[in-house]
């Protein structure tokens, strides 16, 4: 069997932010590995489209069983959202074996000009909801005595506390720190936790047009969402606590942390036009 593969229909995986980008690719890959899926996002239409895509992919493979996909539209950037999602899966008799905390909100804006509501929603989604989902589903895994897996999508920007990224990079830094520490707490219970910290990924999250995404991929600055999902899952199955896809991105981390203000000032002046 492939690494991470299960007997078709024998295990459940939950993916948040599954309606597009990296989350969609996680859902497709997990379905191909035999998992039944719960896909979550704040918009029902993209989730239904992904569910249809998964079913069509299985239908094209005569040897594959028809995958079960439950669509759960839900705004996770709220107090109590994690408990609400957990209660809903429990009420439907779904026992989750793999959790992919992928839902995210990108923000490139100085704190003084960032709407208060955006600050609240980003911290709620990236930090509170993720922490509570980890606790709730890990506790279920321990109670059932299964070897569970939880993947949290952090970001390379945690090493880049630059002007305009204060809120986003700090919320992702928390996610990585929490994931690594929690992984150590639950390892002896058979639970594996992985934080994935990609640099540029060719998705709509950053507001890049399709043209600039293609250019970024050609230049090697951006990786594809599927490449990111593939590497993230491989790290999860291997029990890695934290990964940064691509060695050259890891090599740049010390420089990102050490950039002085005299270098950042002209960058800041240039990027002010892109803040929103």
In this structure, is the dihedral angle defined by the CA atoms of residues 276, 79, 178 and 95, taken in order, positive or negative? negative
Asked if residues 81 and 53 have their Cβ atoms less than 8 Å apart, the reply is no
The H or E element spanning position 87 is: helix 81-91
Greatest Cα pair distance in the chain: 61
Asked if residues 147 and 190 have their Cβ atoms less than 8 Å apart, the reply is yes
Torsional class of 224: left (φ above 0), alpha (ψ -120 to 50), beta (otherwise): beta
Structure-token pair, residue 98? 């793999």
The residues that bridge with 153 in the sheet, in sequence order, are 196
Separation between Cα atoms, residue 178 and residue 129, nearest integer Å: 12
Q: Is 168 tagged catalytic?
A: yes
Indicate which residue of 35, 137, 156, 168 is catalytic. Answer: 168
Asked if residues 129 and 76 have their Cβ atoms less than 8 Å apart, the reply is yes
Asked if residues 176 and 158 have their Cβ atoms less than 8 Å apart, the reply is yes
Neighbours of 270 (CB within 10 A): 9
Separation between Cα atoms, residue 79 and residue 183, nearest integer Å: 24
Could you give the residue numbers annotated as active site?
168
């Amino acid at each position: 069997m492939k690494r991470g593969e299960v007997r078709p229909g024998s295990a459940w995986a939950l993916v948040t932010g599954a309606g597009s980008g990296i989350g969609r690719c996680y859902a497709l890959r997990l379905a191909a590995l035999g998992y039944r899926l719960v896909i979550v996002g704040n918009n029902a239409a993209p989730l239904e489209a992904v569910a249809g895509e998964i079913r069509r992919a299985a239908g094209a493979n005569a040897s594959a069983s028809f995958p079960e996909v439950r669509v759960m539209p839900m705004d996770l950037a709220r107090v109590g959202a994690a408990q609400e999602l957990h209660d809903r899966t429990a009420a439907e008799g779904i026992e989750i074996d793999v959790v992919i905390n992928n839902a995210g909100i990108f923000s490139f804006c100085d704190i003084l000009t960032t709407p208060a509501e955006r600050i609240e929603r980003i911290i709620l989604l990236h930090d509170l909801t993720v922490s509570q989902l980890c606790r709730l589903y890990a506790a279920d895994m321990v109670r059932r005595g299964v070897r569970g897996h939880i993947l949290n999508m952090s970001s390379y920007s945690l090493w880049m506390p630059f002007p305009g990224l204060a809120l986003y990079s700090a919320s992702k830094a928390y996610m990585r720190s929490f994931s690594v520490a929690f992984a150590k707490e639950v390892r002896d219970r058979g639970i594996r936790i992985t934080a994935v910290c990609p640099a540029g990924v060719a998705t709509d999250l950053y507001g890049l047009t399709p043209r600039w995404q293609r250019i970024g991929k050609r230049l090697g600055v951006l990786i594809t969402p599927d490449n990111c999902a593939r590497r993230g899952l491989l790290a999860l199955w291997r029990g890695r606590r934290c990964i940064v896809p691509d060695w050259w991105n890891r090599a740049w981390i010390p420089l990102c942390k050490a950039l002085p203000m005299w270098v950042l000032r002209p960058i800041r002046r240039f990027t002010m036009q892109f803040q929103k």
